[in-house]
Amino acid sequence: MMNKEITMLDVTLRDGSHSMRHAFTEQQVRDVARGLEKAGIPYFEVSHGDGLGGSSLQYGFSRVDELKLIAAAREESANSKISVLILPGIGTRKDLENAASAGANMVRVATHITEADVAKQHIELSRNLGLETVGFLMMAHMAPTSVLIEQAKKLESYGAEIVYMTDSAGALLPHEVTEKVTALRENISCKIGFHAHNNLSLAMANTIAAVEAGAEFVDGSLRCLGAGSGNTQTEVMAAVFSRLGYKTGVDLYSVMDAANDVVAKFMPRPQEITGSSLIMGYSGVYSSFLLFAQEAAERYGVDEREILVQLGQMQAVGGQEDLIFEVAQQIAKEQAMLVK
């Protein structure tokens, strides 16, 4: 029987940080948090795009300290719970403890699809801190379903209460999502979540497929604000699942107001499927690489699509942002040699 209740988690203030070049102001965070609270969004995420501790030269410095943003969001939220993301190797134990003190209720411990074992200490710490704890498996298209199940079981054994399958590149097709979420449902007992990107214009379709296969948590962002072509659009998701008969507890008009009257006014650009973001989905490239690839292409005078295709062939993953510039430089050298 189809599960008729789902939980929506909004990632505007975390995944959207990529598109905003990590420049959210405290007022923007307060305005978005207030809108999400009014709409009845049960969870929303606040942190640097690359998670707690991500403000750095490699990933991009935040305009405002994320702890201040988490605390501001907490002040605006009487009912909505605040999530944070942490990537082992970027965020530390102290970062997580500070986020909990600032008002976080949930932490999502994110690892590459084949590296769940590095999440053990962070998951155990999260449970000890009394936080709702999620295992977040990124780049799910890069491993067969058997590996996904193996890694999900590890996360569950460490204490994860929810395990997310994350289509970080926006590369999965609906039938692949159905297969993978069905396998998760058959092999783990904790709740299942799904996080999509829209690089192939399939975020909403994939989110529906995930829910129909048994996912109980689904992510979205207002106006699709997120890395690459963005995420499943929160306000659209609220409307679609209402039409499908699912209970989300989200007020459609209020979440539309948050999207159109708040987020739309500070977005640096529309979240379109451009040639480059399309190539990201087609080649299976991490969505947060988009702005780095554009910068590298401009610096070295090469086609950013060529950079992304090569990164896809190399199976580059988050944390290898410096590789983007190396690839661009090599392409430029090769092109210069051809001219000679």
Annotated binding site for Mn(2+): 15, 195, 197
Q: Which of 18, 22, 48, 141 is catalytic?
A: 18
Is 18 a catalytic site residue? yes
Give me 221's structure tokens.
Answer: 């962002």
Give the SS3 label for residue 220: strand
* H helix intervals, the chain: 16-19, 26-39, 66-75, 93-102, 120-128, 145-158, 174-187, 203-213, 234-243, 252-257, 264-266, 275-283, 290-300, 304-313, 321-339
Longest dimension (CA), the chain: 66
**Burial level of 186, CB count in 10 A (0-12/13-18/19+)?**
exposed
Query: What residues are designated binding site?
Result: 14-15, 168, 195, 197, 286
Strand runs (DSSP E) across 95-216, as ranges?
106-112, 132-138, 162-166, 191-195
CB 74 within 8 A of CB 103: yes
> Mind telling me the catalytic residues?
18
